[in-house]
């Protein structure tokens, strides 16, 4: 059998830190509300001249270095992003050029905060079917660009960043399974009502903002991300005790804790970065994965369940043997 295996992880956060105290100066909010309702203390914000591809490149270079490969060994690039630098070319094409790679496929996928799971799934299938041998998979966002900084219901939640993994072909798994879901009937609960084809004038006036029914999204995120733990375990004939680490999407500590409780996974096994990163959308899972690999918590041979949930709704998971 042919499998894909993670051989390197990387992450990058922009330098600028935006604290809850900073937000108190922008909107009618306070540290106590933000921390108690979300678990977020601070988030990073890209510089004015820093774009999603810049973040993706830094995370990709970290992952490539950790993997110990040459750039030209990469024969597939998949970038998960909702905040592409340009309408086209894709961020993946821009990144490919930055890395000095010519020829192999490079494309973006868009599933908002679940995007990295979709990107991993696609790259894993390319490798399993022999269409690629070494894939760079990136989640990168400048979500701060689609936030209304006068809306306290959303602006306290999000941040910018990028995470990446290098996947390589192997005889041993690797990625044990991937699970993806969408349900477009929830399109009006979490969305940006603007695109190239619709309401484009709002892009020109800089008012293309994220809109959210927070309470509804919260409930669905908990249900979807805890149910998919069972789906993932069942697919692999594993029990919850077999999970060494859960790396969930980092939107809100209350969502993460509720998922852990409902899925009966002890808090000590759950990787949390939301306190320092906020919600970085497609970047949140690979950033959290990278942090726990680099600080030595996640060890080779361990089983890691990664999962995401986002607008659409979209949700997904992967069971990984590191
Ligand atoms: O990646 C997926 C994307 N999004 C998410 O996962 C977010 C999911 N939702 C959530 O995380 C939570 O629903 C929020 C953090 C957004 C909100 O928490 P909540 O406990 O659901 O609060 P709420 O919306 O019920 O608001 C409670 C009160 C309201 O005041 P009233 O109407 O009770 O007087 C809000 O106006 O808190 C008020 N409020 C704030 N107060 C201070 C809302 N935002 C703020 C704020 N600071 N930033």
Instruction: Dump pLDDT digits (tens) for 78-125.
Output: 999 999 999 999 999 999 999 999 999 999 999 999 999 999 999 999
Q: How far is the CA of 277 from the centre of ligand 1 (A)?
A: 18
Among protein residues, the one with the nearest Cα to ligand 1's atom 14 is 214
Q: What is the pLDDT of residue 185?
A: 97
Give yes or no for residue 279 CB within 6 A of ligand 1.
Answer: yes
User: Which residues are part of the catalytic machinery?
Assistant: 113, 249, 279
Among residues 172, 200, 218, which one ends one of the domains? 172
Residue 203 has pLDDT above 90, yes or no: no
Same structural domain, 158 and 253 = no
Same structural domain, 202 and 264 = yes
Structural domain that includes position 216: 177-321
Q: What is the pLDDT of residue 206?
A: 80
DSSP state letter for 147: S
Neighbour tally for 153: CB within 10 Å: 14
Same structural domain, 68 and 213 = no
| Of 273, 287, 157, residue with least CA distance to 209 | 157
What does the pLDDT look like over 152-201, one tens digit per residue? 999 999 999 999 999 999 999 999 999 999 999 999 999 999 999 999 88
The CATH number given to whatever domain includes residue 247 is: 3.40.47.10
Same structural domain, 254 and 232 = yes
| Of 129, 125, 60, residue with least CA distance to 96 | 60
Ligand 1 pocket: which of 21, 36, 37, 40 to mutate (most atoms <8 Å of CB)?
37
Q: What is the pLDDT of residue 205?
A: 84
Same structural domain, 213 and 125 = no
Tokens 């029990």 identify what position?
Answer: 239
**pLDDT confidence tier of residue 1, bands split at 50, 70 and 90:** confident
Same structural domain, 112 and 230 = no
CB 175 within 8 A of CB 113: no
d(CA 115, CA 3): 21
Q: How far is the CA of 212 from the centre of ligand 1 (A)?
A: 10
Question: What's the whole-model pTM score?
Answer: 0.97
**pLDDT confidence tier of residue 145, bands split at 50, 70 and 90:** very high
Give yes or no for residue 215 CB within 6 A of ligand 1.
Answer: yes
Count of structural domains within the chain? 2
Among residues 157, 172, 187, which one ends one of the domains? 172
Neighbour tally for 49: CB within 10 Å: 6
Among residues 127, 144, 172, which one ends one of the domains? 172
Handedness of CA 120, 45, 40, 148 (dihedral sign): negative
Q: Quick one: which atom of ligand 1 is closest to the CA of 113?
A: 1
């Amino acid at each position: 059998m042919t499998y894909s295996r993670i051989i390197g992880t990387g992450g990058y956060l922009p330098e600028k830190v935006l604290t809850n105290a900073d937000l108190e100066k922008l909107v009618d909010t306070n540290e106590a509300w933000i921390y108690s309702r979300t678990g977020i203390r601070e988030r990073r914000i890209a510089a004015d001249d820093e774009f999603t591809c810049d973040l993706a490149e830094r995370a990709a270079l970290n992952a490539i270095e950790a993997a110990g490969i040459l750039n030209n060994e990469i024969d597939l690039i998949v970038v998960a992003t909702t905040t592409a630098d340009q309408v086209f070319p894709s961020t993946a094409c821009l990144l490919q050029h930055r890395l000095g790679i010519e020829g192999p496929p490079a494309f973006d996928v868009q599933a908002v905060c679940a995007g990295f799971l979709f990107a991993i799934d696609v790259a894993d299938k390319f490798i399993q079917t022999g269409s690629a041998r070494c894939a760079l998979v990136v989640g990168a966002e400048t979500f701060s660009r689609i936030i209304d900084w006068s809306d306290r219901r959303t602006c306290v939640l999000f941040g910018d960043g990028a995470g990446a993994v290098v996947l390589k072909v192997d005889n041993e798994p690797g990625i044990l399974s991937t699970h993806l879901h969408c349900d477009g009937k929830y399109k009006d609960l979490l969305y940006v009502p603007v695109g190239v084809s619709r309401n484009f004038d709002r892009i020109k006036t800089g008012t293309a903002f994220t809109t959210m029914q927070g309470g509804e999204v919260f409930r669905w995120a908990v249900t979807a991300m805890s149910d998919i733990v069972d789906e993932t375990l069942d697919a692999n004939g594993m029990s919850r005790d077999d999970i060494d680490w859960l790396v969930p999407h980092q939107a809100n500590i209350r969502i993460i804790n509720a998922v852990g409780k409902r899925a009966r996974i002890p808090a000590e096994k759950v990787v949390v970065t939301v306190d320092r990163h906020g919600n970085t959308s497609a970047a949140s899972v690979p950033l959290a994965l990278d942090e726990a690999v680099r600080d030595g918590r996640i060890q080779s041979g361990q089983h890691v369940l990664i999962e995401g949930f986002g607008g659409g709704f979209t949700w997904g998971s992967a069971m990984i043997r590191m």
